[in-house]
Amino acid sequence: MDLPWLDGVQHPRTPKRIPSVLTVAEVAALLSALRTDMDLLAACCAVPACD
């Protein structure tokens, strides 16, 4: 089947994954902002390495 209008259609590009890296000072500030054990637990569960 000939579909000439389909010739210009392109596949969507896969988005690039750029890792985020925090400095030691940023990690210290983040951890000091956590007030309870539940905050710390929630932060640990949000880490991609926990998957």
Q: Where are the domains of the chain?
A: 4-46
pLDDT per residue as tens digits for the range 3-48: 888 888 888 888 888 777 888 888 788 878 888 888 877 777 766 6
Q: By percentage, how much of the chain surpasses pLDDT 70?
A: 88
| d(C-alpha 13, C-alpha 17), whole Å | 12
Question: Residue by residue, what is the 3-state secondary structure of the chain?
Answer: CCCHHHCCCCCCCCCCCCCCCCCHHHHHHHHHHCCCHHHHHHHHHCCHHHC
Residue 43 neighbours by CB under 8 Å, 6+ apart:
30, 31, 34
pTM over 0.85: no
